[in-house]
Amino acid sequence: MRRSAFKFALVATIAMFISASVQAQWNTPAIDGTITSNEYGTNNKLDNAGNTGQTWYMTWDASNLYVAIVNANVSEGAVLYVKGNPQNPATCCTNADGSSSGFNYDGAQFSTLPFRAAFVTYFKNGYREYRNSDGNNGWTGSTAYYGQYADNGGNNNTREVAIPWSAITGGGMPSSFAFFGYLTSGGGYVYGQAPPDNPGAFVGTSATATQYYAVVNTGKNTSTPPFSLEQPSGFSAADSAGFRHDTFDPIYRDQEGAVPENAQVTLRFTTLHSSGIWGVKVRAYLFDTATGNTTGPIDTDMPFDQNLTVNGTELDAWKATLTMPSATTVYYYKFRINRDQTNGWYSDDYLDDNDNVHKDGTGKPTDGEPFNSFQITVYDPNFQTPAWLQQANVYHILPDRFRNGDQTNDYCRTGSTTGCPSFYGTDPSTVIHYDTWNAQMCDPRDSSSSCYNNFTQFYNGDLPGVQSKLDYIQSLGFDTIYMNPIFMARSYHRYDTDQYLQIDPALGGDAAFTSLIAEMNRRGMQVILDGVFNHASSDGLYFDRYHRYASDGACESLSSVWRSWFHFNDDNVPCNSSDYPAWFGFDSLPTFDHTNPAVKDFFYRGPNNVTQYWYSRGASGWRFDVADDGNFGHPWWNDYRSYAKKYNVNGPLIGEIWPNASQYLAGDQMDSVMNYRFRKNIIGFARNAEWHDDNNNGTNDIPGLSPSQFDHAIRAVRDDYPGQATAAMLNLLDSHDVNRALYVLTETGDSGLTQAKQRLELAALFQFAYVGAPMVYYGDEVAVNSPSKSSSGNGPYGDPYTRPPYPWTDQAGDPSIYGPPDTSVSSYYTKLSHLRKQYPALRNGAYITLLTGDTQQPNTAPNTYAFARMLANESSALVAMNNGAASNAASIPVAGVFSDGTQLQDAISLATYSVTGGNVQVTLSARTGVVLLPYPVNLDLAPPSAFISTSPAANSQGWINSLPVTVDLSANDSGSGVQQLRYWINDGPVSAAAGNSASTRVTAEGPYTVGLRAIDNAGNISAPATATFGVDVTPPVVRVSVSPPSLWPANGAMVPVTVSGFVTDSLSGVDPSTASFAVVDEYGTVQPQGPVSLARGGSYSFKVFLRASRNGNDLDGRKYAITVSARDNAGNLASSAAIVTVPHDMGH
């Protein structure tokens, strides 16, 4: 689901004060949700634009304190603590002139404030309140809707509030004041603070704030900067320059990356010997991933370890060996350095939880305790992620925009089964539908268009459309499909679920899903469903704000069975937009109360719960929308995993979490996430230039990355997560929530799309060669061209431009609108995906950096990055990439990877290379890369052939009349070899067998159709082989009757006898050509014989003439046996006889 840049930054630090002495402008702001240049002075701005873009403004007059915040979603609560005319310093005293405790808003609280506050306010869209200190270290009751408030969420998420001084001080404007503020959301997230360097993020109710801002002069027209950051003095620059800790260096941290519970980790810190440092401590904050609670600070002494001399400089080393917790934890740590009365800090220097370039490795010194920390993720040693996902190539489909396979379910098409519905109380005529597939999307952001602000637009793609293109998807090399939501909903994207246990009828309904799953199973494919468990549709069954259903929804009645499932602000029924909180402020998306046991039962605990139900219907795993929303909380996901893994231990649990997801990936919650951090890194490298758009987290910025920066960034992400999670990451270049990769990779000065496509291929090369599962958004493989046409203050919007219809050339309309499909790019993607399947090192091998050209070969290969993937007993792979605009000549060190004399071949171009002196010389054209493997590389793009035979073989009628029947299954492949056979009998379950041959047995009668597909080691799949036969070992049923049954008088006459009856066979059927009769007397003398003509249904009737004469003196007279015989189509023979007698005399 689309996210704003600010909303999902776990840490969006806000402010550094302006230090220049510029005269402030003291004009009274108009509280209208808009900031103009003449309202707030330059010095009245707390800005950190290099971070989230979030900015706080403040000014005042004699009546009010004015506060404005920009680029912080207006639905997130802002909290501000103020003390007018504080003592000097504000933290000096223990008198009860204010409160030193925070107040719990949205589950977030700083338990100890940096000064004794006398006032606290909370304000956001739709609500504001304040409280005053009660003189006893506590707070009074709240006063709501004070002063003035306005916001404009569509204009950089701007909010303004005017707070009367009378509310703050009980009187007029103070001559000075202190303040501290932060932004928060449900569940205890702090998204930013002013000042920025207090500990925070998910603070729970235990964090301690240490710093604040002071306004020492509220007089007008002062030249003094009004905001003064209060913090202790620290070490000199010379001393601080000697501080060092490096998470990448085993000298400083003996275990890089995540560690299992109870692991021993040794940390070192170095200082200049000349600084005369007295001592160093490790300060830790322990985040319990299961509960979401933070413990700390915990200080541990680092005893002096040894003196070191590095490059002629004498250093003191300090060391501590720490035992990690015995439960899943994110262990945050920093260093406190002491010399007499001087204290300083050293910690990681990332900007926010979306900043990979500055994370890990070395840090930076600060005077006061910084917010940032180094981290060690402590994971469950039993943590396993599904092996199949680690091997997968994933294709991401937005069903409405992929393909229309059944027009009878289209919205608003004449004669369709779904009609033209009303959504959210609007007239059906407002629903935009495209009867022509290749049509230009109407731009809902264009104020001059007929569809302005109307995002309800359907192309009517569906599940039959997906099923019809499975051959295409597998030919590209993909074996897994992730689909955006498919449950019944009220929009084309379906993130507004109506009913969770029903497939949307406009997608084909439950029957289409069953059919799709059956076909995917036969092909060995997996499907990942999108679970939107945070919120539902206000126009759906459970909420029913628009009275669609006969039953009472939560919005309609206090007694509704679903009322307690949702959050409400009051008891108004029917409800309106102000009566309930909704995700991101969209009133169409009311949020569930995840603490309610009934909600947990519905989604994962109770009978027929959503999770278990769709597993039973064939789902392979789940992707969870907005999984890190504070509305869930970590205990929800911890509990969810314990149930979900019982239902399907191999079902991956994948979170939509954009920033650092360590708190969810310790083995107790998620298996994996949609790896937007990967996207940020590879797009930054492939562009080699900065990019801003409306859909990136943190600063909305993707910085251009040099090879060394890129290597640092991807290493930092790897180090945050356990290896099992990294191996299961969904590594993406784009998605339905961000701008299309081709558009983002287009740069000023390009010639058409030529260079952009080269960058796309370069990014894809890394995507398929890196650790984790590559996930390709539909159409990227053919270079779908759908640029953004509108921008916010943060950059170009992705939604809706990133969601065009796939440009199928066999569909009506003009495929050149978003295409046409580029077969050259498609061929490149196809090679990459099959290459990853064919060479296991590219999936499972260790990742080893070989070259960062900007630091190692800046003169000849400044833009070259090279790495190896190595796996025991498998061919190693070397990947080299040039992100520059000019050719690079690189000498890549490969000692330990390939021995001298090894011949290598590029799997893409088939050019050959040699290893000499421990190096490979590679010349890379601009924006290209190579994948070098031991010569020769025989990339297999041809599918295997599959065969089925039976023993015994079926007859010409397709039947076998013996049991058991052995069904022999086989396949051949001249390339990579057959990996697996997948076969099924009739419509039964699919069985799988490794290798190129297998057999199964049929042990019962009946008709059989055996299907078989073979998959080779490069991911190619055969055409289906089919064998149809029947097994019938039961002979047919033959019935015979005669009339008359005796002949008299015995006068030697030829008497006609009628023979009638039937021949039937309920399985293979009677072969009418085999029906015959014969008449034999008691001496074996054959009388008449011949064929029997069977009527429909197997009946027959014919006459034979028998002589009415006695035979000798036998007292029993003469007997004729009339036998009718026939075979069924399986060859089984049956016969039956009737007797005609000629008595000796009437007495006998």
| Choice among 97-111, 633-647, 709-723 with the minimum mean pLDDT | 97-111
- Cα–Cα distance for residue pair 500/643, rounded to 1 Å: 18
pLDDT in tens, 827-880: 999 999 999 999 999 999 999 999 999 999 999 999 999 999 999 999 999 999
387-832 and 845-934 in the same fold: no
pLDDT number for residue 228: 58
pLDDT number for residue 11: 25
Higher pLDDT, 211 or 759: 759
239's enclosing H/E stretch is helix 237-240
Is 70 exceeded by the pLDDT of residue 26?
A: no
CA 857 to each of CA 587, 684, 685: distance values in angstroms, whole numbers, following the listed order:
56, 21, 17
pLDDT number for residue 1018: 98
Q: What share of the chain is helix, strand, coil (3-state, %, to 5)?
A: 15, 35, 50
Mean pLDDT of 357-370: 91
Looking at domain 945-1031, does it have CATH number 2.60.40.10?
A: yes
pLDDT number for residue 41: 65
Is 80 exceeded by the pLDDT of residue 42?
A: no
- Do 584 and 4 contact (CB within 8 A), yes or no? yes
| Choice among 12-26, 415-429, 604-618 with the minimum mean pLDDT | 12-26
- Cα–Cα distance for residue pair 55/1009, rounded to 1 Å: 68
- Cα–Cα distance for residue pair 1142/457, rounded to 1 Å: 90
> Whose CA is closest to 55, among 17, 84, 27, 87?
17
CA 747 to each of CA 754, 865, 973, 1070: distance values in angstroms, whole numbers, following the listed order:
11, 21, 44, 75
- Do 79 and 262 contact (CB within 8 A), yes or no? no
Q: How confident is the model at residue 571 (pLDDT cuts 50, 70, 90)?
A: very high
- Do 424 and 588 contact (CB within 8 A), yes or no? yes
- Cα–Cα distance for residue pair 98/212, rounded to 1 Å: 15
Q: How confident is the model at residue 90 (pLDDT cuts 50, 70, 90)?
A: confident
723's enclosing H/E stretch is helix 723-727
| CATH superfamily placement of domain 845-934 | Golgi alpha-mannosidase II (2.60.40.1180)
CA 1108 to each of CA 814, 1085, 1139: distance values in angstroms, whole numbers, following the listed order:
89, 15, 14
Beta pairing class for 148-152 and 127-132: unpaired
Is 50 exceeded by the pLDDT of residue 522?
A: yes
Q: How confident is the model at residue 212 (pLDDT cuts 50, 70, 90)?
A: confident
Which residue's structure tokens are 């604040």? Answer: 212
pLDDT number for residue 224: 46
Residues linked to residue 906 through DSSP beta bridges, in sequence order? 932
Print the SS3 string covering 921-982: EEEECCCEEEEEEECCCCCCCCCCEEEEEEECCCCCCCEECCCCEEEEEEEECCCCCEEEEE
| Choice among 32-36, 145-149, 187-191, 667-671 with the minimum mean pLDDT | 187-191
Structure tokens at 989: 């379950």
Share above pLDDT 70 across residues of the chain, in percent, rounded to a whole number: 91
Is 50 exceeded by the pLDDT of residue 70?
A: yes
- Do 978 and 1015 contact (CB within 8 A), yes or no? yes
pLDDT in tens, 448-472: 999 999 999 999 999 999 999 999 9
Structure tokens at 1068: 């293979």
To the nearest whole number, what is the mean pLDDT of the chain? 91
| Choice among 33-37, 558-562, 612-616, 917-921 with the minimum mean pLDDT | 33-37
pLDDT number for residue 51: 40
pLDDT number for residue 154: 60
The amino acid at 87: Q
Q: What is the DSSP letter of 478?
A: -
CA 849 to each of CA 161, 360, 715, 879: distance values in angstroms, whole numbers, following the listed order:
52, 17, 10, 10
Question: What's the fold here for domain 387-832?
Answer: TIM Barrel (3.20.20)
pLDDT number for residue 59: 86
Q: How confident is the model at residue 203 (pLDDT cuts 50, 70, 90)?
A: low
Q: How confident is the model at residue 17 (pLDDT cuts 50, 70, 90)?
A: very low
The amino acid at 1030: G
pLDDT number for residue 648: 99
Structure tokens at 798: 């992705």
| Choice among 377-386, 689-698, 771-780, 1116-1125 with the minimum mean pLDDT | 689-698
pLDDT number for residue 36: 82
- Do 1056 and 1107 contact (CB within 8 A), yes or no? no
Is 90 exceeded by the pLDDT of residue 1007?
A: yes
Share above pLDDT 90 across residues of the chain, in percent, rounded to a whole number: 77
- Do 394 and 480 contact (CB within 8 A), yes or no? yes
pLDDT in tens, 648-690: 999 999 999 999 999 999 999 999 999 999 999 999 999 999 9
Return the sign of the alpha-carbon dihedral for residues 1044, 1046, 1051, 1052.
positive
Domain ranges of the chain: 42-230, 237-379, 387-832, 845-934, 945-1031, 1037-1142
Is 70 exceeded by the pLDDT of residue 16?
A: no
Beta pairing class for 965-972 and 978-985: unpaired
- Do 168 and 86 contact (CB within 8 A), yes or no? no
Mean pLDDT of 34-50: 65
Please name the residue ranges forming H helices in 573-671.
Answer: 597-600, 610-616, 634-647
pLDDT in tens, 141-159: 889 899 999 988 766 788 9
Mean pLDDT of 1011-1037: 98
pLDDT number for residue 44: 67
pLDDT number for residue 136: 78
Q: How confident is the model at residue 1114 (pLDDT cuts 50, 70, 90)?
A: low
Structure tokens at 1140: 């005609």
Higher pLDDT, 229 or 1109: 1109
Q: How confident is the model at residue 176 (pLDDT cuts 50, 70, 90)?
A: confident
pLDDT number for residue 938: 95
pLDDT in tens, 383-427: 999 999 999 999 999 999 999 999 999 999 998 999 998 999 999
| Choice among 110-119, 614-623, 756-765, 1032-1041 with the minimum mean pLDDT | 110-119
1040's enclosing H/E stretch is strand 1037-1043
Question: What's the fold here for domain 1037-1142?
Answer: Immunoglobulin-like (2.60.40)
pLDDT number for residue 50: 31
Dihedrals φ, ψ of 796, to 5°? -60, 140
The class (CATH top level) of 237-379 is mainly beta
Mean pLDDT of 489-515: 98
pLDDT in tens, 732-748: 999 999 999 999 999 99
pLDDT number for residue 25: 40
CA 826 to each of CA 286, 351, 757, 761, 979: distance values in angstroms, whole numbers, following the listed order:
47, 38, 11, 10, 24
Q: How confident is the model at residue 1146 (pLDDT cuts 50, 70, 90)?
A: low
- Do 421 and 428 contact (CB within 8 A), yes or no? yes
- Do 310 and 353 contact (CB within 8 A), yes or no? no
Q: How confident is the model at residue 1115 (pLDDT cuts 50, 70, 90)?
A: low
- Cα–Cα distance for residue pair 895/851, rounded to 1 Å: 12
Contacts of 136 (CB under 8 A, 6+ apart): 96
Q: How confident is the model at residue 1113 (pLDDT cuts 50, 70, 90)?
A: low
Higher pLDDT, 155 or 1081: 1081
> Whose CA is closest to 301, among 336, 332, 348, 333?
336
> Whose CA is closest to 794, among 59, 7, 185, 78?
7
